[in-house]
Structures are given as structure tokens and as C-alpha cells.
């Protein structure tokens, strides 16, 4: 099934959405992106886009950092995205990539005197990580004093950490801050279960304030009665934790079985992690009306009826 992109203010086949080689964004990382999941429900014949508005609100925050003025409101971006996904017609889990970027075909290191544009595309994408992962602490340290937004140029360190982990035989990397505290994975936030309480690195460690991270904190307290403490996390706490899991739009909630060759708990999926996975999975596929405000259905009733 062909995919589409919203590009230069219109919908085009994804294969036709192309940028010139002199585009400023290519050379200097002057772009802000988001990753958004569309989750397929086979029983309802529906794709539910998760936390759509929250993602675009965060995109807007990143645009302020890079002095990008978007010509669309958050509500308009949401509408464009729903229309795009409906046009694609996928009947499986998908990933949606919005990008705001400096679009001028001009070289030179700067943010000023450059035009900006917006694009978004969608494509089928299943599991990002294995069902449970083996991690290592990366030698690449989390950058200090950087604007914490999803800036394209910022993810070079994450890429270095991810590839280092893969070349060492691990599934994912865990990066530390310059001061040696736990920061995050290459594309995920991290949680530990210690003495029946959840612990996660705090905002003052410079982490990305993940949308899935925020959802998990709310669900843990509302559904399981477990509060989350946000604080500095020492590296050694990784090895002593009763449970550990990663959270992210692509990764959902992914259990960590091992870190640096040390089993977490018994090396299997922990009970609290399993419960959170089950709760989260039901919500993102539109099966829990209590949290329906997080889920945006794509297909209209007439469209669904044709598929049945």
C-alpha cells in the first residue's frame, strides 16, 4: 500500500517528497522532529493516533528554540496528520514523522534569515525493540547545556551510543550525564523499580521530557497506586534495581532484562512492568474509555463499514 507525505502544503506520494541538496537543514541539523504512533485495532478496524496534540505542542516548543515560525496551528497540524493517515489507509501499526525545518537552500551556520517549512509522512512500523532488551552503559556521555527538544542535530550523540551498543552485542544504550548520573536511552526514557517505588531521572539532568514518560507516571499512580520519584539516579542503582524498563513513542514500554551483563531481577519481565505494559497497550488501541482523550481515531464510520 503506497504511503503519502504532506509536503510543500499538499499531499503527495512519499516517493515524490524530495528536498534539494543545498537545503540548510541537511547541513546543520536545523530541524525539529516528532515521532508519533498510530496503533491499529484489528477488532475495531481503526487506527488510534496516541497523544497527537501533545506531540505537536512539544514540536512548537522546539520550533521556538530554532526560531522556526510554523504557518499552521497545533489544531491544524493535528487535522493534517489525521487526513494524511486516512489517505494512506494502513491496517497495521504505523509511525508518523513530522518535521519542521530550515528550508532555504542556503549554506552558512545560523538560524536567522532562513525560511522554514513543515512536512509529515507516515509508514508501517512494528516493534522498535525486542520484547525485552539487553542494555549497556555507553561511553558516550549525554551532552551538557543543550536545549532539550527533539532537534535533529542533537541526536548525533544518541546515534553514536546506539551503534556502540549494537556493535558490542546489546540491544540498546543507556547514556550518563557529564556528572555520571543516569540520563536516558538512545531514544527512550528509563525507569527503575526500587523498593516498590518507581524512580526516573529528573528534568534537571537534562533529559527529554518524554510524552510516554509522562503517561507512565500518571498511569502508575492512577492504576497501580505507585508514585514516581524524579531524582538523580546513580549508575550502580541500575544494577541493584528490582525492575527496569524503557519508555518512548517507538519503544512503548520495553522491559530491560540485563544491563552490562548483570540481570535485572530474574532477567524476566517484572510484575509491575508487565502490569503497566498491559494497561498501556489497552489504552493506545482504544480499549479503555477512561483515557480516550489520548487517542485520536483516524477512519470514519463509513470507511470502517466498508472494511467489515
Residue with cell 543545498: 22
Which phi and psi (to 5°) does residue 109 adopt? -80, 110
- Residues annotated as catalytic are 150
**Listed residue (258, 239, 251) closest to 215, CA to CA:** 251
Cβ atoms 184, 208 nearer than 8 A: yes
Integer angstrom CA distances of residue 278 from 18, 224, 268, 287:
40, 12, 16, 11
Residue 268 cell numbers, joined: 524476566
The helix/strand/coil state of 303 is: helix
Task: Kindly calculate the radius of gyration of the chain based on its CA atoms and give it in whole angstroms.
Answer: 20
Question: Who's near 168: CB < 8 A, 6+ residues apart?
Answer: 136
Cβ atoms 115, 148 nearer than 8 A: no
Which phi and psi (to 5°) does residue 89 adopt? 70, 25
Distance CA 18, CA 15 (A): 8
Cβ atoms 173, 136 nearer than 8 A: yes
Residue with cell 514523522: 97
Distance CA 243, CA 265 (A): 6
Amino acid at each position: 500500500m503506497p504511503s503519502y507525505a504532506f509536503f510543500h502544503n499538499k499531499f503527495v506520494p512519499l516517493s515524490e517528497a524530495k528536498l534539494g541538496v543545498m537545503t540548510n537543514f541537511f547541513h546543520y541539523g536545523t530541524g525539529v522532529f516528532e515521532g508519533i504512533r498510530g496503533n491499529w485495532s484489528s477488532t475495531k478496524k481503526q487506527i488510534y493516533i496516541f497523544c497527537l496534540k501533545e506531540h505537536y505542542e512539544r514540536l512548537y516548543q522546539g520550533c521556538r528554540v530554532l526560531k522556526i515560525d510554523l504557518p499552521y496551528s497545533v489544531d491544524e497540524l493535528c487535522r493534517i496528520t489525521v487526513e494524511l493517515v486516512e489517505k494512506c489507509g494502513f491496517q497495521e501499526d504505523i509511525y508518523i514523522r513530522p518535521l519542521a525545518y530550515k528550508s532555504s537552500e542556503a549554506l552558512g551556520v545560523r538560524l536567522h534569515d532562513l525560511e522554514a517549512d513543515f512536512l509529515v509522512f507516515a509508514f508501517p512500523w512494528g516493534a522498535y525493540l525486542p520484547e525485552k532488551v539487553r542494555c549497556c552503559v555507553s561511553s558516550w556521555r549525554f551532552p551538557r547545556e543543550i536545549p532539550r527538544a527533539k532537534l535533529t542535530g542533537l541526536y548525533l550523540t544518541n546515534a553514536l551510543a546506539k551503534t556502540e551498543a549494537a556493535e558490542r552485542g546489546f540491544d540498546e544504550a543507556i547514556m550518563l550525564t557529564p556528572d555520571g548520573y543516569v540520563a536516558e536511552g538512545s531514544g527512550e526514557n528509563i525507569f527503575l523499580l526500587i523498593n516498590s517505588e518507581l524512580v526516573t531521572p529528573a528534568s534537571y539532568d537534562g533529559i527529554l521530557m518524554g510524552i510516554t514518560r509522562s503517561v507512565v507516571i500518571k498511569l502508575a499512580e492512577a492504576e497501580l497506586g505507585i508514585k514516581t520519584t524524579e531524582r538523580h539516579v546513580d549508575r550502580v542503582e541500575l544494577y541493584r534495581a528490582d525492575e527496569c524498563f524503557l519508555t518512548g513513542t517507538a519503544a512503548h514500554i520495553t522491559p530491560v532484562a540485563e544491563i552490562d551483563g548483570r540481570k535485572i531481577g530474574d532477567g524476566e519481565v517484572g510484575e509491575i512492568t508487565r502490569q503497566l505494559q498491559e494497561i498501556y497497550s489497552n489504552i493506545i488501541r482504544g480499549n479503555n474509555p477512561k483515557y480516550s482523550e489520548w487517542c485520536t481515531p483516524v477512519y470514519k464510520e463509513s470507511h470502517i463499514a466498508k472494511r467489515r
